[in-house]
Amino acid sequence: MNTVHKISSETLDLSTINDIIFQQKKIELSTEAISKISKCREYLNSKMQEQGDPIYGINTGFGSLCNVKISKDKLTQLQENLVMSHACGIGDQVPKGIVKLMLFLKIQSLSYGHSGVQVETVERLIYFYNNDILPLVYTQGSLGASGDLAPLAHLALPLIGKGEVYYNGEVCNAESVLKELQLNPIKLQSKEGLALLNGTQFMSAYGIHLILKSYKLSYMADLISSISIDAFDGRIEPFNELVHLVRPHNGQIKTAERIRGFLEGSELIDQEKTDVQDPYSFRCIPQVHGATKDTLAFVERTFKTEINSVTDNPNVFIAEDKIISGGNFHGQPLALALDYLKIAMAELGNISERRIYQLVSGLRGLPTFLVDNPGLNSGFMIPQYTAASIVSANKQLATPASIDSIVSSNGQEDHVSMGANAATQAYTLIQNVERILAIELLNASQALNFRKPKLSSPLINSLLNSYRNQVPFVKEDRIFHDMIKSSILFIEDFRIDNDLLFD
């Protein structure tokens, strides 16, 4: 197995990133990337020598201070001041896994040779990544335009020996860590601070993390709903391929195919049915889950484009001899995609809660609240309340963040994406979906036990045998919090091969 990923201009995709994360690969710059970064820096140095005119962000102030020219002897101080002054994030700390993705994606963006940074700067970011020296970054502060300024400032602070980092399992002062490792702070050159701060790596890291998680939860939603179908004594006819070929949305077709596969060999699905139709939350699983899959495909395309792009400003074009100030840092494509992702994933939770409700309602021969002696035992009554509460919270979180904008920088930055808020909302929402699915799995596994001696499919039986090692069958009331937590952990630990995850 290759344990090193080389940073290059080769297109990054989700499967590659998933492998890098789960195989804990180290990263290094390819010869191609080193050459591009070096040539761009050399070009910028030469340009600074021969040109006295203001170049935004290189020898000028920033934002509404763009017309203030800075003398050559102050350019390093200018860049360091930029990093320090913009490090005003607040709120919760960004999860370590997402911070590590931020480092990776910033390195990737800088490697294309349009940002004017030193190779030394990029190599130090790689050192941080490979040695799990992870800057403390905060969830609040980015408007999602001009890039993710505040979060990326916190990401960059340790380069100059400032800020705090996670190191060896502790929060440490970055300066002391550099001294311990006998590393000198980076002396930022012209343009470097702006290259580090401009960009969409906060939104992008959240997005990539959440897309990977959403693909897994999409798969788990299909699998868990298949258990619910058998537990509810549901019908297989709504999943017949013929139904979906006459309305051929890709996600719908894929969902029906998956569920047919999951239920193959089930004694329960093949038995004679007394009910002619199932409720929509069962019968329309392909249409609802499938629409989420189609949304995921759109969101993936958006983020795949973004993580293979240059998103800082200004951009340096050596062949054309141009340094152009533009707006590639604006997060609008990501903000819209994250809002769309929120809505689509909220619906997976919404329909899952409806199946939970049906399973505890005492229908189709199942005991009320899925427990013997209801009344003395409340059984699975309140887990449904919990799921309903979470669904309601998700409806609030799914409200689009991208429709908002607040003027900043004295009117210079007069439209912003609010994509960072969409990202953090999506993080909470998708965690919530996992919790709802965990409750459905808890309920469906309990309900299926009342169908014995007939069994579900070999695949589902094998899954539930593993599940029962962590979550027991409930004979009488117990603390359901502990069981829900165990059910969540079961989903978190469940591994799915890339070829199934991204199929």
In whole angstroms, what is the distance from residue 158 CA to residue 135 CA? 7
Nearest CA to 65 among 46, 86, 50?
Answer: 86
SS3 for 26-80 is: EEEECHHHHHHHHHHHHHHHHHHHHCCCCCCCCCECCHHHCCCECCHHHHHHHHH
Report residue 98: phi and psi, to 5°: -75, -35
* 43 is known as an active-site residue: no
- The DSSP output letter for 370 is G
Secondary structure string (H, E, C) spanning 133-194: CEECCEEECCCCCCCCHHHHHHHHHHHHCCCEEEECCEEEEHHHHHHHCCCCCCCCCCCHHH
Given a contact cutoff of 8 angstroms between Cβ atoms, the answer to whether 341 and 351 are in contact is no
Long-range contacts at 72-81 (CB < 8 A, ≥ 24 apart): 72/48, 75/189, 75/190, 76/187, 76/188, 76/189, 76/190, 78/190, 78/193, 79/188, 79/189, 79/190, 79/191, 79/192, 79/193, 79/194, 80/160, 80/188, 80/193, 81/193
Catalytic residue selected from 43, 56, 167, 206: 56
Residues 6+ apart with CB under 8 A from 411: 64
What is the residue-wise DSSP string for 84-134?
HHH---EEEEPPHHHHHHHHHHHHHHHTTS-S---HHHHHHHHHHHHTT-E
How far is residue 226's CA from residue 264's CA, in Å, rounded to a whole number? 10
DSSP-derived pairing of the beta strands 26-29 and 322-324: unpaired
Q: Which of 463, 440, 395, 82 is nearest to 231 (CA)?
A: 440
Q: What angle do CA 244, 245, 251 make, to 5 degrees?
A: 55
Separation of CA 2 from chain center? 25
What are the Cα distances from residue 347, in Å, to 46, 420, 494?
55, 22, 22
User: Which residues, 6 or more positions from 119, have their beta carbon under 8 angstroms from its beta carbon?
Assistant: 29, 34, 37, 38, 41
Are 387 and 439 within 8 A, CB to CB? yes
Nearest to 30 by CA among 133, 122, 121, 159: 122
Active site residues: 56
